[in-house]
Amino acid sequence: MSTAKIAKTNAARLLDGLKISYELRPYEVDPDDLTAISVAKKIGMPAEQVFKTLLTHTNANEHVFAVIPGDAELDLKKLAHAAGAKKADLASLKEVEPLTGYIRGGVTVMAAKKPFPAFADETIELFDVISVSAGQRGLQLVLSPADYLRASESTLADLTKAAAHG
């Protein structure tokens, strides 16, 4: 860790308040490539350990967060089932910032403007540490899955599409 001071985000302050240990890991932002796979390369972690946070809405007009591995695709049917809804769709980009307080590439469940229910893909428990956005582009939080689940109050569920093989 360099001696340069990294500004703490609201998500990091939330973790501090819960006495949860984490590492802030900065990276160079490419506005043309905000993918979790790109972020994973920049912070030196496998893409399946770098979780991306997607804002969705259900047919009941409720918003829910889906937290899935960076190399996976969200299965909206599985998310709807987990959320007890008939269907779910990704929220439009213009909804994301007003609802969460975060911009695309920097969305996190923790300390979002509104505390929407969150569902994390069950594969999150396979790792010693995971990485999620710290609430701003260019900064990731690295912490244990158990601590993340506690801080984000996420419900575990199977949320991803089966990988297409060969």
- Supply the DSSP symbol for 51: E
Instruction: Convert the pLDDT of each residue in 73-83 to its tens digit.
Output: 999 999 999 99
pLDDT of residue 6: 77
pLDDT of residue 58: 95
Does the pLDDT at position 99 exceed 70?
Answer: yes
pLDDT of residue 164: 54
pLDDT of residue 166: 43
**Parallel, antiparallel, or unpaired for β 23-26 and 51-58?**
unpaired
What are the structural domains of the chain?
A: 23-157 (3.90.960.10)
Does the pLDDT at position 3 exceed 50?
Answer: no
pLDDT grade for 126, boundaries at 50, 70 and 90: very high
Give the pair of three-digit tokens for residue 138. Answer: 């260019």
Which position has the token pair 């932002």? 29
- 94-106 mean pLDDT: 95
Mapping DSSP to helix (H, G, I), strand (E, B) and coil, where does residue 134 land?
Answer: strand
- 129-146 mean pLDDT: 97
Share of the chain above pLDDT 90, in %: 90
Residue (of 6, 119, 11) closest to 65 by Cα position: 119
- 100-118 mean pLDDT: 95
Cα–Cα distance between 71 and 163 in angstroms, integer? 10
